[in-house]
Amino acid sequence: MHNVGSRSIWRRAGQMLSVLIVATLVVFGLGNNPSRAATPVLNVSITPEKTSYNSDDTQKYTVSWSCTSVTEDCVDSVIKVRIPHAVNQAGDAVDKAVAANLAATAASGTPAVSANITRGTATTDAYVTYNMGRIPAGNSYQAVITFEMPNSYTPDQSTVSPEVSFTSADTTVTDDTKVTNHAETTLALTKKKPTAIGPKGSNVTYSLTPTITSGTLGPNRGKLAVVNTKLVDKLPSCAVYVSATSQGSTDGSEFTGAEPTYDAATHSLT
């Protein structure tokens, strides 16, 4: 009886030991599987202060980005904002309607990073770039970008569509927005007669002054250049044409007019 009891006790002890060993192997086996770190999530947005602007108004955009993660940083991070040319209603980019006076604040947050600005030309877009490098997990940033779409060259109802990209390692996310540009042309003409007229046969000098204003959009805002413009002045029948000259005074637009020509058949200047 004693031997039987001993075998029973040892048998039970062996079973318990076996269970303990198996349980230990299972726990250790789970512990030896490497856990994958969560991949950080990139977030980026660009938001205009308004949805429409007059040409030559300061357009303001807020760019925000973040590295959403608990443990993993965003490495080799680059924020790039592209500001394309304005696009007219026909869908064509306007070569001279490129962002002017482009400026950008440093990225807020830690560390603060200054912007690299590439100004646009008639054939290239404008860019603002933040080379962030490593962004610590959970950090977020903001920057403000401003520019103007130039008077005279920015068509009414044209649009500009800035876009932003956030690249980190092999991942890129993007966002874009669109605003509408307003411009109008109001033509005016002033004819200034001489203050005094001499005796018959003496020369008489007078001036014609055409002007372009932005009408209801405010002073020096929302102006649109006019093209293929013709000014014709019919001379009095009693006058004999002597000479004429022209000159332009602009606020940044181009003056490409030719010298006046006299047409004897119609007795007029063009």
Are 233 and 193 in contact by the 8 Å Cβ rule? The answer is no
Q: Which of 33-37, 72-76, 99-103, 143-147 has the lowest mean pLDDT?
A: 33-37
Single-letter amino acid code for the residue at 206: Y
Q: Is 20 helix (H, G, I), strand (E, B) or coil?
A: helix
| Domain finish residue from 182, 197, 231 | 182
- pLDDT, average across residues 96-113: 91
Print the domain residue range for 177: 41-182
Mean of per-residue pLDDT scores for the chain? 81
Residues 161 and 257 occupy one common structural domain: no
The C-alpha atoms of residue 221 and residue 99 are separated, in whole angstroms, by 15
Are 46 and 147 in contact by the 8 Å Cβ rule? The answer is no
Q: How many CB atoms lie within 10 A of CB 94?
A: 19
| Domain finish residue from 134, 149, 182 | 182
Residues 197 and 70 occupy one common structural domain: no
Give the pLDDT confidence score for residue 209 in this predicted structure: 80
The 10 Å CB-count burial string (b at 16+, else e) for 140-156 is ebebebebbbbbbbbbb
Residues 206 and 88 occupy one common structural domain: no
Total of domains in the chain: 3
Residues 74 and 88 occupy one common structural domain: yes
- pLDDT, average across residues 164-187: 92
Answer with the residue of higher pLDDT: 212 or 152.
152
Tell me if the pTM is above 0.85.
no
The C-alpha atoms of residue 180 and residue 101 are separated, in whole angstroms, by 18
Read off the pLDDT of residues 65-89 as tens digits, 9 standing for 90 and up. 999 988 899 999 999 999 999 999 9
Pick from 121, 123, 118, 122: nearest CA to 103: 118
Read off the pLDDT of residues 194-227 as tens digits, 9 standing for 90 and up. 777 778 888 888 888 877 665 555 555 555 656 6
- pLDDT, average across residues 160-181: 97
Residues 92 and 109 occupy one common structural domain: yes
Give the pLDDT confidence score for residue 212 in this predicted structure: 67
What contacts 201, CB < 8 A, 6 or more positions away? none
Residues above pLDDT 70, as percent of the chain: 74
